[in-house]
Amino acid sequence: MRAVDLHTHSTKSDGSFTPTELVEYAVKKGLAAIALSDHDTTEGIDEAFAAAKGTNLEIIPAIEFSTEYEGRDIHILGLYINHHSEHFEEYLQDFRDARDARNQKMCEKLAEHGIDISYEQLCRKYEGSVLTRAHYAAYLLEIGAVKSRNEAFERYIGDHAPCFVPRHKVTPMQAVELILRAGGVPILAHPILYHLSKAKLEQLITDLKAVGLVGIEAIYSTYNSSEERQIRHLADKYNLLISGGSDFHGVNKQKLDLGTGYGHLFVPEDVLDNIKKYRREHGKYKDRIIFSDMDGTLLDDEKNLSPEIHDAILNFTSQGGNFVLSSGRPLASILETRDRLGLALPGTYIISYNGALVYDCENEKPVLERRIPFEYVKKVLETAKECGVHAHTYNKNTIISPADNEELAYYRIHIHMPAIITDDVVAALEEEPFKLLLVHLKEDGKLEDFRKALVQVAKGKLHTFYSSPLYLECCMADASKGNAVRFLCDYLGIDIANSVAAGDAANDISMLEAAGIGVCMVNGTEDTKKAADYITKADNNHNGFLEVLRLATTTN
């Protein structure tokens, strides 16, 4: 099992590594995840995300709030915060303004004591950093005003020194509430360091628990085994999750290393797994579900997914939301695309074959099947042959086709599945299939001729619908994306009013009509737009799907 480190700092507060350098070091050390939890700022998080692209390192957006409780400095970690939350950003801006005013006053006091310093000098010296007293101490040491960092604190900037100006602080209870509002997981950081009596510490935990505290830092660089047992006991007593981290600051904390602390620290990956499980079970989107068509909706015309959409889906599912890929494609093709796009996420399902199969990705099993009897497979194939159109069907991972022709080659450009060519399609089938697909590369009316002819032989048992002008789908009469939406909402116990479905083509209409909110992409067909409650402003090539995610996460 790999290690994680859920408490680290960068140059954006008082660490010595830039966010990029921190990510590179974590990758070098083989960590599974790190939380960038700079003091009272989130300014390094986007840089860390960018640096981690293409690696197997998870970046957890985080913050460490400095708060005050009965005259003591108490730190609250917020893991998995939405650092772009408007309310959260407004609070941090107010905090930054107060912090800047405090730093200006400290510089003025130091100047009054004969130190060659100004706020502007300090900002230039530590450009891009959140100024803390560690920066003041380093600056004073560099210019020769003191002989050591300790002297800087004792003579000038310590809590009781003449140039100290108290910071604007929130209470730890307010910090917990802020983190919860930003969708995060509030953690009481390094409680042993506060040197509280047993009764005082339990009172603090009780007060924090009352407003929503979720976890406590029970694994920490400075703890001995007795101290770790003490905090683990409190976690059990107050039903809190375990968290842990090194509190890495680079060279600003000598001999304290990322992931290993002073050499004995190990935070196992299952600590993070438990936090993720909590987020899913208690997340604010646990009663929401999104159904998404793939081609022309979620994916751009090159069959790719933008990083912005991927991250938004990850945020939605990690906070309890269910996400469903809904397509006419075979299951094997959807799974391949899902894995390529990095969407193998908790709480995901697949509607395949236009609703004939509903698949639980997490448990790797079908939860609904609507198969076509062999006798009707034969009728479809015979009618297709009479009408001069191509028809094929599927085994689990294989296309079964009566001919290796231009239509099959066209279909396989994007559906990467092997094909068996045989005169006896039914004999080649391992079990009754979910659908047949009719393909005709000319818009000359032959698909419509087939459709009319099939009505006479199917006797209401089958239905057909277009997924594109060249593709006609054929499934059991009760197999549709709309019925799959109704089934899955009922199966998961989610009010269908809390569902959002998005598509762009005729085979999506039943899904849009069934969902609480039906969304058609602006690049969709006119008939699909008429069936929708909302039409996106941007198309599938310009992140139009972000509008779908906003509807799912903001609509009551």
Which pair of structure tokens corresponds to residue 85?
Answer: 């939350």
- Residue 27 sits at the vertex; the CA angle it makes with 22 and 31, to the nearest 5 degrees, is 100
Write out pLDDT tens, residues 83-120: 887 778 888 887 778 778 888 999 999 999 999 999 89
Which pair of structure tokens corresponds to residue 438?
Answer: 């009719």
Residues 159 and 165: their CA atoms lie apart, in Å, by: 8
CATH code of 232's domain: 3.20.20.140
Write out pLDDT tens, residues 213-264: 999 999 999 999 999 999 999 999 999 999 999 999 999 888 999 999 999 9
How high is the pLDDT of residue 129? 66
Is the CA virtual torsion 439, 445, 448, 449 positive or negative?
negative
Asked if residue 556 has pLDDT above 60, the reply is no
Asked if 174 and 42 sit in the same domain, the reply is yes
pTM comes to 0.70
Asked if 182 and 200 sit in the same domain, the reply is yes
Asked if residue 128 has pLDDT above 70, the reply is no
SS3 236: helix
6, 79 in Cβ contact below 8 A? yes
Count helices and strands (H / E) in the chain: 20, 21
Does residue 420 sit within a domain? yes
Is the CA virtual torsion 532, 533, 537, 542 positive or negative?
negative
276, 318 in Cβ contact below 8 A? yes
Write out pLDDT tens, residues 533-546: 999 999 999 999 99
φ, ψ dihedrals at 267, nearest 5°: -105, 105
Residues 170 and 225: their CA atoms lie apart, in Å, by: 32
- Residue 172 sits at the vertex; the CA angle it makes with 170 and 177, to the nearest 5 degrees, is 90
Residue 426: enclosing H or E segment and its boundaries?
helix 425-428
Asked if 345 and 211 sit in the same domain, the reply is no
Asked if 208 and 296 sit in the same domain, the reply is no
Count of structural domains, the chain: 3
Asked if 77 and 191 sit in the same domain, the reply is yes
Confidence band, pLDDT 50/70/90 cuts, at residue 167:
confident
Last residue of a domain, one of 258, 282, 306: 282
Q: How far is C-alpha 428 from the chain's CA centre?
A: 41
397, 382 in Cβ contact below 8 A? no
Q: How far is C-alpha 141 from the chain's CA centre?
A: 43
Q: Within 10 Å of residue 187's Cβ, how many Cβ atoms?
A: 33
Can you give the residue range of the structural domain that contains 175?
4-90+169-282
Q: Which of 90, 128, 124, 87 is nearest to 107 (CA)?
A: 124
Residues 361 and 346: their CA atoms lie apart, in Å, by: 8
Asked if 206 and 74 sit in the same domain, the reply is yes
Residues 432 and 65: their CA atoms lie apart, in Å, by: 59
Which pair of structure tokens corresponds to residue 74?
Answer: 């108490």
95, 168 in Cβ contact below 8 A? yes
Last residue of a domain, one of 251, 267, 282: 282
Write out pLDDT tens, residues 175-216: 999 999 888 999 999 999 999 999 999 999 999 999 999 999
19, 10 in Cβ contact below 8 A? yes
Write out pLDDT tens, residues 8-44: 999 998 899 999 999 999 999 999 999 999 998 999 9
CATH code of 421's domain: 3.30.1240.10
23, 59 in Cβ contact below 8 A? yes
172, 196 in Cβ contact below 8 A? no
Q: Which of 19, 61, 63, 25 is nearest to 41 (CA)?
A: 63
